[in-house]
A and B are shown apart, each in its own frame.
Chain A
Amino acid sequence: MTTPAKAGPAPATPVTTPAPERLPLYREMRRVRTFEERVGELFVRGESAGSMLHLSIGEEGAAVGVGTTMRDGDTFTTHHRGHGIFLARGADPRRMMAEIGGKETGYCHGKGGSMHIADMSLGHLGANAIVGGGIPAVVGAGLVARRRRSGAVSLAFFGDGAMQQGILYESMNMAALWDLPVVFVCVNNQWGMGTRIDQATKATALHERAAAFGLRAETVDGVDVLAVRAAAERIVGAAREGRPGFLAIDCYRFFGHARKDKSPYRTEEEEAEGRRRDPVSRARDELLAEGVAEEELDTLDREVATEMDAAIDYAIASAEPQLDSMFRDVFAPDQPEPEPVRTRIDRVLARD
């Protein structure tokens, strides 16, 4: 695993942050963890739409540390492993779960699924199944924010795999060139499918590349949600002032790439070591050490479990989309829908 390298002097984690302020971050991370576990359960129960489900377990520090720094009006894009980020930004887990089940009540009415969740009301410009595909949109959103002086920031979240896609460099260059309120967030879980980061690049100090384009750039340890939050506040704060930035967050992909991948390309030792870097249990241990009662945390965990169980129930109870809804939203609502193949065939073959 690469050691997190910091660019420039970064203030140490403020260990003095009082427990009451840390508790919400813990709760948010627990929500992400439990949600993802329930996504796994949805799959096992045969209720998910397909098996291309990429869990963000191990990445809760990144999702919550950055997700909670966004404000109303800010926009963001995510990648195929973006459930946690969206949840931390305020998503309704029931509508997320329903989307993952391909149901009508989901955020995208069952058309998008796990890899294509979006919600314009929360500024979520969309998750993406094309590695790197969502990155340049934040340059466009940043351009608009600056032009309209809205004070909004636009953030692109992506994995370390996207660091090898050319589109990232075109986007970073333009964001820097035009001083846009844009942040690039690389969730570096060390793996892209079966390829470890050092098998994909020689330049594993990822923030250095962004710095070379003139972005404010840091790497932070994702196991420590407070450190992530502090770094995110610096970088996002500067971006809001027109100084675009980049944040790499080191963490570990706890499980396989997608539901069916058992990661045969990693050793058990590596996985055990990686899973020790657990942002959720670390936050919990810290809270306990600071004197928060265990029962309080247990109660919180149970509340979260109940919330996420309800999300599963909601998804399963929800209806499939109506078949003819598939012709909707190809174009704007006032435009004619494409003619169904069957209708056209009947028209062509109609005989007197």
Chain B
Amino acid sequence: MPMLTYREALNRAHAEALRADDDVFVIGEEVGRYGGAYGVTKGLIEEFGPDRLIDTPISEPAIVGTAVGAAMAGMRPIAELMYVDFLGMAMDQLCNQAAKIRYMFGGQIGVPMVLRTQGGTGRSAGAQHSQSLEAYVMHTPGLRLCMPATVYDAYHLLRQALEQPDPVVFIEHKGLYALREEVDLDEPPPAWGEAVVRREGRDGVLVAYSRVVHHAMAAAETLAGQGIEVSVIDLRTLNPLDFATVRREVEKTGKAMVVSEGPMTAGVGAELAARISEECFDFLEDPVVRVTGEDIPISVSVELEKGSVPGAELIEETARKLLA
């Protein structure tokens, strides 16, 4: 099986989507000539030209808004925000426009666009370039949300996102671009919206998505060495949310931890913990524990940045306490 990086898988998904459908185009800052700030669209302008890899001025609201209009007018834009942190600037176009158009206009039209961006810590990029803002998106009805953790998913989730009738926010993790895995992209993907159980265990379940899936897997491995067997669920998409898979694993094990890099309060973990508590109450032996980022901004200092988000150690330590 070929080795591929997360970045290369995304690049390939773009290339194949652009090749397969003339209505697909990419629009954003530095997506064409430069090849993307993180190199995801590198080389594509050579094959597809500047009409399909549209370099824009630094104008985030207009980038997202242009994609909204193009989607309404019948094309399939992939708009790129260089950092998820810039969502703040484009929030109106995403949340008041893209998310609500189908509903407000009584179902007359949808906005089939993909908004690609990346987030997370790991580069000492500071408070305005390191955030995990998926909760903003998840909180807004009308938006789909996916956050791939693996090379395979980076490819397939982007392809599937481009098949959706509604706006999809696609958040990559900057710490995963160099991740290299052996993948068979020809293997058919799980259906859109399905979570994947990455590891099965009887003692408890760790629910995760994006980069922390890898931390959860590392923690699970260490725990296995101590005789503790946990399941690890990779949600893959947060909207749709595959709660059936979560419920099944929680009912099986009776103990659940949710892991995310973003801040704890009103985060994705909060939503998951609430649903598990409500819907699996009779099966739970312990409180659902959130292992999350701290409720603080991200510092540029290497040490503080690392300390602000959960790693494999904190997950393992917490699991040991919960499952003891």
Contact = CB atoms under 8 A, between A and B. Distances in A.
A112 B264 contact: no
Contacts, number: 149
Contact of B128 (A102, A116, A165): A116
A110 B299 CA distance: 7
B30 interface: yes
Interface residues of A, number: 49
Interface string B119-154: 000011111110000000000000000000000000
A338 B295 contact: yes
A330 B295 contact: yes
Nearest to B286: A349
A333 interface: no
B126 A116 contact: yes
A194 B303 CA distance: 31
Contact of A338 (B29, B294, B322): B294
A81 to B, nearest CB: 14
A200 interface: yes
A192 B296 contact: no
B124 A50 contact: yes
Contacts of A340: 294
B34 A194 contact: yes
B315 to A, nearest CB: 10
B292 interface: yes
Interface in A180-215: 192-195, 199-201
Contact of A116 (B33, B59, B127): B127
A132 B57 CA distance: 13
Interface stretch (B7-15, B178-186, B192-200, B306-314): B306-314
Interface string B289-324: 111111111011111100110100010001001100
Contacts of B30: 193-195
A195 B56 CA distance: 9
A113 B264 contact: no
B295 to A, nearest CB: 4
B165 interface: no
B61 to A, nearest CB: 6
Contact of A341 (B89, B128, B292, B303): B292
Interface in B33-86: 33-34, 37, 55, 57-59, 61-62, 85-86
Chain B interface main SS type = loop
A57 B127 CA distance: 25
B29 A129 contact: no
Interface in A85-103: 102-103
B287 interface: yes
A345 B299 CA distance: 23
Nearest to B129: A129
A166 B61 contact: yes
Interface of B: 29-30, 33-34, 37, 55, 57-59, 61-62, 85-86, 88-89, 123-129, 264, 286-287, 289-297, 299-304, 307-308, 310, 314, 318, 321-322
30 contacts: A49-B302, A50-B300, A50-B302, A102-B299, A102-B301, A102-B304, A103-B301, A111-B299, A113-B124, A113-B126, A129-B129, A130-B86, A130-B88, A131-B58, A192-B57, A192-B58, A193-B34, A194-B34, A195-B34, A265-B34, A320-B302, A323-B304, A326-B294, A326-B296, A326-B304, A326-B308, A330-B296, A338-B295, A341-B310, A348-B289
5 smallest A-B Cβ distances: which pairs? A50-B124, A113-B300, A164-B57, A102-B301, A110-B301
Interface of A: 49-52, 102-103, 110-116, 128-133, 161-162, 164-166, 192-195, 199-201, 265, 320-321, 323, 325-327, 330, 338-342, 344-346, 348-349
